[in-house]
């Protein structure tokens, strides 16, 4: 009755959210006196696969025959390889949402998304999740025999717990393998889901020609760039940068909101950030109520100074 973890990689390197999911599963496994089996679908090297052992996986089942984003084939494979498992853990990502929901229907498992803590009980699985766009915390009890836990990103942390990890290569029947292309697009150099720091800007930037300073600040900080919905709607930035209720939900350690008013729909996707810094000319901008640090002023004056000062420190 092992615990299964679905893993995700980008350019054959496991995502931080995968190491977090394995760390979480490893702690749940301790509660149940069992072990963790991670399942990988990429072309990761043996060294990369073995890294899952650093966070508590005792075994990796590696199948490289399924196209990334093929949620039907992936959930079929997971269903076949989790027959003996009562708990399956996913990191909450755009891809995993599609796979976890299909899997739950196939194996008749209760599914809990946006989970923020370890289960308070394991029989029945009882845990806390964020709900109502992270405005409320809900306690959920899973009544089915099997439970799928989708962990909210950055809610548990990546915790080292070294195990000897064996790797088993798995193959599937190719007729089951329905292939289609489609995967989360990484924005520029860094994917939003993975970024520790995000520099986000809104309509206060006045036009797409002014994003150079946002990109410069992001590069200086090693950050990803994001934007508000109207900015991507007008076409100043591409849609994969749009964060918020109808865009990507992000939870970086540091979120810069530059020239963004802080509408409730924007906050819904970013308010799980650990620290929020807001730069806005309007002292009454709603974003200041949620900010950890606020700078009232013109982004066109502040951002270049910020870049200069950060460069001095770095
Ligand atoms: C159903 C629904 C879903 C939505 N989903 C989303 C979503 O997912 N994400 C999202 O972002 N929005 C979403 N919206 C839109 C949302 O309500 C806001 O309209 C939007 O977030 C505002 O974008 P903004 O802050 O960039 O622009 P604005 O509201 O125009 O704000 C611009 C801000 O920039 C400031 N500013 C101006 N000049 C400067 C300067 N020189 N320096 C610094 N600051 C300056 C202004 O004071 C202002 O606060 C949704 C709306 C609806 C109805």
User: Can you tell me the mean pLDDT for 42-59?
Assistant: 95
Pairwise pLDDT comparison (66 vs 124), residue with the higher score: 124
Query: Do 19 and 153 belong to one domain?
Result: yes
Residue 190 domain-assigned (yes or no): no
Query: Do 7 and 39 belong to one domain?
Result: yes
User: Can you tell me the mean pLDDT for 181-187?
Assistant: 42
* Residue 166: per-residue pLDDT: 95
Among residues 176, 211, 235, which one ends one of the domains?
176
Query: Do 204 and 282 belong to one domain?
Result: yes
Q: Which residues' Cβ are closer than 6 Å to ligand 1?
A: 202-204, 228-231, 244-247, 259-261, 263, 265-266, 269, 279-282, 285, 298-300
User: Can you tell me the mean pLDDT for 93-115?
Assistant: 93
CATH of the domain at 307: 3.40.50.1220
Give yes or no for residue 87 having a pLDDT over 50: yes
Query: Do 151 and 295 belong to one domain?
Result: no
CA end-to-end span of the chain, whole Å? Answer: 48
Query: Do 23 and 168 belong to one domain?
Result: yes
* Residue 305: per-residue pLDDT: 97
Eight-state DSSP code of residue 190: B
Residue 23 domain-assigned (yes or no): yes
Distance (angstroms) between ligand 1 centre and the Cα of 259 equals: 8
**Dihedral of the alpha carbons of 150, 156, 158, 164, in degrees to the nearest 10:** -70
Residue 129 domain-assigned (yes or no): yes
Query: Do 42 and 159 belong to one domain?
Result: yes
Residue 281 domain-assigned (yes or no): yes
The preferred substitution site among 134, 202, 240 for testing ligand 1, maximizing ligand atoms within 8 Å of CB, is 202
Query: Do 166 and 207 belong to one domain?
Result: no
* Residue 71: per-residue pLDDT: 87
Domain count, the chain: 2
Please identify, by atom number, the ligand 1 atom nearest to the C-alpha of residue 202: 26
53-57, 90-94, 290-294, 295-299: least confidently modelled range: 90-94
* Residue 173: per-residue pLDDT: 59
Mean pLDDT score of the chain, rounded to an integer? Answer: 91
Query: Do 213 and 279 belong to one domain?
Result: yes
Residue 39 domain-assigned (yes or no): yes
Query: Do 14 and 104 belong to one domain?
Result: yes
Residue 95 domain-assigned (yes or no): yes
Residues 223-278: pLDDT tens digits? Answer: 999 999 999 999 999 999 999 999 999 999 999 999 999 999 999 999 999 999 99
Boundaries of domain holding 11: 3-176
Give yes or no for residue 182 having a pLDDT over 80: no
Give yes or no for residue 181 having a pLDDT over 70: no
The residues near 90 (Cβ < 8 Å, ≥ 6 apart) are 5, 6, 21, 96, 99, 100, 148, 149, 150, 151
Query: Do 62 and 112 belong to one domain?
Result: yes
Is residue 142 packed enough to be buried (19+ CB in 10 Å), middle (13-18) or exposed (0-12)?
A: buried
Query: Do 57 and 98 belong to one domain?
Result: yes
Give yes or no for residue 186 having a pLDDT over 60: no
Residues 121-179: pLDDT tens digits? Answer: 999 999 999 998 888 999 999 999 999 999 998 999 999 999 999 999 987 754 444 44
Q: What is the pTM of this model?
A: 0.70
């Amino acid at each position: 009755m092992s615990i299964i973890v679905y893993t995700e990689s980008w350019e054959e390197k496991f995502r931080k959210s995968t190491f977090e999911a394995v760390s979480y599963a490893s702690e749940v496994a301790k509660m149940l006196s069992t072990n963790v089996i991670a399942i990988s679908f990429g072309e990761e090297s043996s060294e990369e696969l073995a890294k899952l052992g650093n966070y508590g996986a005792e075994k990796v089942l590696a199948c490289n025959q399924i196209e990334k984003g093929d949620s039907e084939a992936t959930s079929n494979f997971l269903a076949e390889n989790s027959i003996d498992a009562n708990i399956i853990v996913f990191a909450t990502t755009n891809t995993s949402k599609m796979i976890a929901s299909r899997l739950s229907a196939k194996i008749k498992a209760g599914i809990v998304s946006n989970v923020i803590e370890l289960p308070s009980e394991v029989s029945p699985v009882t845990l806390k999740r964020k709900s109502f766009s992270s405005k409320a915390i809900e306690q959920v009890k899973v009544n089915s025999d099997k439970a799928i836990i989708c962990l909210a990103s950055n809610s548990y942390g990546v915790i080292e717990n070294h195990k000897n990890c064996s790797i088993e290569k798995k193959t599937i029947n190719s007729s089951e393998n329905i292939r289609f292309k489609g995967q989360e697009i990484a924005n520029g150099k860094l994917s939003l889901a993975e970024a520790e720091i995000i520099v986000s800007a809104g309509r206060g930037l006045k036009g797409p020609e002014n994003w150079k300073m946002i990109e410069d600040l992001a590069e200086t900080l090693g950050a990803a760039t994001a934007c508000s919905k109207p900015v991507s709607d007008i076409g100043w930035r591409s849609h994969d940068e749009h964060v918020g209720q109808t865009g990507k939900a992000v939870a970086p350690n540091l979120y810069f909101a530059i020239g963004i008013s802080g509408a409730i729909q924007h906050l819904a996707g970013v308010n799980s950030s650990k620290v929020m810094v807001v730069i806005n000319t309007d002292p009454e901008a709603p974003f200041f109520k949620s900010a950890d640090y606020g700078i009232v002023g013109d982004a066109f004056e502040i951002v270049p100074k910020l870049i200069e000062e950060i460069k001095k420190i770095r």
